[in-house]
Structure 1
């Protein structure tokens, strides 16, 4: 049976429209991911197995298991998409590093010295109500630990971007193999998804077995989950490979088969998600929830994790390409403020959770309050910050 691929001549007339549609879809997908980050941080204290608040609900465990398994990988994928086109339009690669330093480095430094200490003071105050903020701040900065919360994404993304720029300097064709794979995915998305699974699983599973799932590499506020360093790099450069040449003819094209089969990938994502719950059941019910799990367990869970990540990522992309291509979306008002919301939300989330801790509310009511107020406060703060002259270069 012969597979028909799109020709340059056949698709050239629709290129401009396709790019416009694709960009709108991806912008909305990125905004959706930002909301998922806020949902994730809103419900974590109220999970059944890992709760830090008296109220809990098992449904929040389902949410956290899903979001933690894919949304940061998807952020890296989307961040890599426009790396090559951005480099194509710059006379000097150093200008990209400068711009990314402004866009990523400055927010990281400012938030590491402001948002993060304010956020974690709420946790410290729960343990020691007499602790002053000055003493807490001084100890965090000088002695540590100095966690970065969700801000770790910024400095890791900067490193990947720097590496990508160096690869581009060596040769603009460095990512051609990944781009050809993405082109095949226009008509055969299943092949592309299987290839992405193979690549990411090969990088993630051995790292998970060796480092374990919860170890973090950290130096001051610079931290990253050891087992996921290569996983996130893979998604970033897979994204860069998609965007390296004619992405409108690739796997995430609005006219490709991925978008038309969005429900297939959504259904496929259920299988590895159920498998992860199966492994959790084995860990708790059969193995007795030990601190150190056997190698076969980590390898099996790692495979399910990698499979769920890739299927749910492309299911979401397919959904947005299929249904969020044009017209108005409820996500649109948040689009320009999404990055700022990501930067500042963590402090609001932790202090709202602190304020609600002693209230005898159901977990759903607490989490819902934290999400709604956290979103509104973060949005308002971002709107104010964007009024600062020159802030548009950062936010």
Structure 2
């Protein structure tokens, strides 16, 4: 990959590159922070009351509720933020390469890591579950070969993001094929983003999300695809589109400092107002199925996500638009971290299994030690022949 791009991004091969080829260091720094959040999110899941990870120890003390709250806050925005960044850098990649080369590149840079996880890493992180299943079946006099266990537990794990991003990228190619001036395809001048448009988008997203969750409530599982949060698809798709539009209209540079402060305040107020609903009826609030609690949840998630994105973009653009050698290293290996972090967290989870401590303490140990180990393993993986050209 050429030196004018930020490598290692799960958001396309031009993450961090502006419309004129200038490096957008602040975008790369946001992506680094989001990647750290992914690692910490799954570390929190490990010791929470949400057993949706390859290795979990269900919390047996009150601190588990803290981790549950952290998971809910993360889930409300961070993967949507990833999709927005991906959308932002999709048009210039398409325009530079053309449709055929763009599709080939997407298959290479997204498809190969997805296959690598499914065929190499997933058997490693799921091996402990296989032993537990075999023990339970053996008590009943039943055996299960590994190939059958692999098939019935098929799941792309955290690489579902890459899976969905690949689909979004192909849809973008189709749209651009219909009209040469389709969304994100033109080179029009900047068009400032107005506050009422942001409010209208947030309100519309809340309504669509509420309606979507009537039929796709929390906990819905999509066979084969293995999406862990299909109830968030309206956010993921709309944020990707917003990213495409933002690239075309120069929204990231047009956001004022006042907009950043407003976004931060909106996010904080939304979280504070939602807290009583989440505490009094958490299951109904998160479940969906058309309840009034689900409507409140969709509203706060949309307000919180939009507010955080606006606030963080302005903050990093103004204060964190530079990188030293450490920052460049972290950015270069971020996608590889996303790929390999399950191996690190699951391995460390088993290593800490015998340690007796409250849930939040074990989360802290796993996170503090796990994050640098993830980057170290990512560095080793990218040293493999050809890996640096893909990751």
Residue 252 of structure 2 is matched in structure 1 by: 252
Residue 88 of structure 2 is matched in structure 1 by: 81
Deviations 1:218-265 (A, max 9, x none): 21x543533222321111111011113xx5xx2211xx3434542331
Residue 79 of structure 2 is matched in structure 1 by: 72
Q: Does 1:232 align with 2:236?
A: yes
How far does residue 177 in structure 1 lie from its aligned partner after superposition? Answer: 11
| Corresponding residue SS for 1:114 | helix
**Among 170, 177, 192, which residue is 1:184 paired with?**
192
Contact 1:182 1:192 in 2 (8 A): no
* Unmatched tracts of structure 2, length 5 or more: 1-16, 52-56
Contact 2:49 2:59 in 1 (8 A): no
Contact 1:260 1:322 in 2 (8 A): no
**Among 340, 356, 362, which residue is 2:352 paired with?**
356
* Count of residue pairs brought into register by the alignment: 365
Q: Pick closer, same or farther for the CA change 1:341–1:157 going to 2, 3 Å.
A: same
Q: Pick closer, same or farther for the CA change 1:352–1:232 going to 2, 3 Å.
A: same
| Corresponding residue SS for 2:34 | helix
Q: Pick closer, same or farther for the CA change 1:180–1:233 going to 2, 3 Å.
A: farther
Q: Pick closer, same or farther for the CA change 1:290–1:252 going to 2, 3 Å.
A: closer
Q: Pick closer, same or farther for the CA change 1:284–1:240 going to 2, 3 Å.
A: closer
| Corresponding residue SS for 2:93 | helix
Q: State the TM-score, normalizing by the size of structure 2.
A: 0.82
Q: Pick closer, same or farther for the CA change 1:164–1:318 going to 2, 3 Å.
A: same
Q: Pick closer, same or farther for the CA change 1:242–1:101 going to 2, 3 Å.
A: same
Contact 1:349 1:374 in 2 (8 A): yes
Question: More deviation in 29-38 or 346-355?
Answer: 346-355
Contact 1:73 1:232 in 2 (8 A): yes
Question: More deviation in 37-46 or 96-105?
Answer: 37-46
| Corresponding residue SS for 1:389 | coil
Deviations 1:21-46 (A, max 9, x none): 77111011011100000110111233
Residue 4 of structure 1 is matched in structure 2 by: none
Distance in 1 between the 2:277 and 2:289 partners? 11
Deviations 1:56-85 (A, max 9, x none): 443323321111111110000000101111
Residue 213 of structure 2 is matched in structure 1 by: 208
Q: Does 1:94 align with 2:103?
A: no
Q: Does 1:157 align with 2:129?
A: no
Q: Pick closer, same or farther for the CA change 1:107–1:89 going to 2, 3 Å.
A: same
Question: More deviation in 97-106 or 210-219?
Answer: 210-219
1:4-43 correspondence runs (5 A): 23-43=24-44
Question: More deviation in 93-102 or 81-90?
Answer: 81-90
Question: More deviation in 53-62 or 360-369?
Answer: 53-62
Residue 378 of structure 1 is matched in structure 2 by: 374
Residue 389 of structure 1 is matched in structure 2 by: 385
1:105-144 correspondence runs (5 A): 105-125=111-131, 137-142=146-151, 144=152
Distance in 1 between the 2:366 and 2:134 partners? 23
How far does residue 331 in structure 1 lie from its aligned partner after superposition? Answer: 4.0
Q: Pick closer, same or farther for the CA change 1:131–1:74 going to 2, 3 Å.
A: farther
**Among 318, 322, 327, which residue is 1:322 paired with?**
318
How far does residue 161 in structure 1 lie from its aligned partner after superposition? Answer: 0.3
How far does residue 292 in structure 1 lie from its aligned partner after superposition? Answer: 7.7
How far does residue 209 in structure 1 lie from its aligned partner after superposition? Answer: 2.2
Cα RMSD, aligned residues only: 3.2
How far does residue 379 in structure 1 lie from its aligned partner after superposition? Answer: 1.7
Contact 1:120 1:347 in 2 (8 A): no
Distance in 2 between the 1:84 and 1:62 partners? 36
Residue 278 of structure 1 is matched in structure 2 by: 276
